[in-house]
A and B are shown apart, each in its own frame.
Chain A
């Protein structure tokens, strides 16, 4: 029997190629229904701990994705990520405040964007995340700092037209490098 060239290559290594494209709408619909039924059945037995793990990894990936882009959208991303982090882990935000030794009022102000997080707060958040992610996923300790400063940088550069005229007036060079 003469095998086609493609067939012989596929047999060399299972990882050479997979063509999963649906050929018909009927095939696609059938697969969607069958797969969803099986998944929902498996989801019934999914422990709460695994759901928490998934939500934490989701948050981590969203933070990493945010750091890859230059976004200015008037959102308070640090506060948004903090809110998600706290709400994923705790049923009451006051419990998180207690765990990192800040007042619930301070935490609420940071989450709602009414107050900037101070350095101590970010350090506490860093240590809390290290402990939380220890058995979940790789989580860079510097992530919260990076989010905070990335947002500052995005906001500053996006608002250049607002601050530059005044700042330019205040800055001068007494020593010039002559070409």
Chain B
């Protein structure tokens, strides 16, 4: 799995790892959109360049085995990776693909990843990640979830 440096077009290998207690002091709301300390009892993962410590993106999830579903609670990229001047691309895609892998490993052909973005940005997720809309909830299942995993595994 890789992210792409916008300025140079260079690919950089990444890894997605569980957030550790020592990480919270370097997760200010100003850089990561939310108060992640409030979320610390949840299952949270960070995306970093392989071998580095700086966190480029974060996701917190809830596993719902009774529905074969993983719900994305919070999802963000660091502030310098937002907008036209962003440093790296594909951070969110990699985080969703990572969650998709957990869902497939846990639930196989029944796997589902869901999230509820604001209606103003929902269409972006539908278009970019091929998500299905049910009311205001977006979800991705087989076969689209497999295509997403393959897309980000191959890059």
For chain B residues 33-59, which have a beta carbon within 8 Å of chain A? Answer: 33-34
A39 to B108, CA, bound (A): 14
For chain B residues 90-130, which have a beta carbon within 8 Å of chain A? Answer: 91-92, 101, 104-105, 107-112, 114-118, 120-121, 124-125
Evaluate whether A17 and B74 lie within 8 angstroms (CB atoms) in the complex, with A31-B135, A57-B146 already known. yes
Which of A16, A32, A35, A38 interacts with B33 by CB under 8 Å? A16
User: B87 at interface (Cβ–Cβ under 8 A)?
Assistant: no
Which of B64, B115, B124 interacts with A20 by CB under 8 Å? B115
A17 contacts which chain B residues (CB < 8 A)? 33-34, 74-77
User: A138 at interface (Cβ–Cβ under 8 A)?
Assistant: yes
- Tell me the nearest residue of chain B to A30, going by C-beta: B135
Instruction: Give the distance to chain A from B119, nearest Cβ to Cβ, in Å.
Output: 12
Give the total number of A-B pairs whose CB atoms are below 8 A apart: 126
Give the interface centre of B114, B139, B142 by most chain A CB atoms within 10 Å. B142
Evaluate whether A58 and B105 lie within 8 angstroms (CB atoms) in the complex, with A13-B86, A34-B135 already known. yes
Give the interface centre of B71, B109, B117, B143 by most chain A CB atoms within 10 Å. B109
| A137 x B153 contact (CB < 8 A) | yes
A105 contacts which chain B residues (CB < 8 A)? none
User: B3 at interface (Cβ–Cβ under 8 A)?
Assistant: no
Which of A14, A53, A54, A65 interacts with B121 by CB under 8 Å? A14
| A46 x B125 contact (CB < 8 A) | no
B25 contacts which chain A residues (CB < 8 A)? none
Instruction: Give the distance to chain A from B155, nearest Cβ to Cβ, in Å.
Output: 11
- Tell me the nearest residue of chain A to B125, going by C-beta: A14
| A12 x B72 contact (CB < 8 A) | no
| A9 x B82 contact (CB < 8 A) | yes
Told that A19-B73, A35-B114 touch, could you supply 6 new A-B pairs with CB distance under 8 A? A16-B76, A20-B114, A21-B74, A42-B132, A46-B143, A51-B142
| A138 x B108 contact (CB < 8 A) | no
- Tell me the nearest residue of chain A to B143, going by C-beta: A50
Interface majority SS (helix, strand, loop, mixed), chain A: helix
A42 contacts which chain B residues (CB < 8 A)? 132, 141
Instruction: Give the distance to chain B from A133, nearest Cβ to Cβ, in Å.
Output: 11
For chain B residues 7-52, which have a beta carbon within 8 Å of chain A? Answer: 33-34
| A54 x B92 contact (CB < 8 A) | no
| B142 x A19 contact (CB < 8 A) | no
Instruction: Give the distance to chain B from A57, nearest Cβ to Cβ, in Å.
Output: 5
A11 contacts which chain B residues (CB < 8 A)? 120
User: A55 at interface (Cβ–Cβ under 8 A)?
Assistant: yes
| B150 x A137 contact (CB < 8 A) | yes
Instruction: Give the distance to chain B from A149, nearest Cβ to Cβ, in Å.
Output: 22
User: A18 at interface (Cβ–Cβ under 8 A)?
Assistant: yes
Which of A32, A35, A36, A57 interacts with B149 by CB under 8 Å? A57
Evaluate whether A20 and B116 lie within 8 angstroms (CB atoms) in the complex, with A42-B141, A57-B149, A61-B105 already known. yes
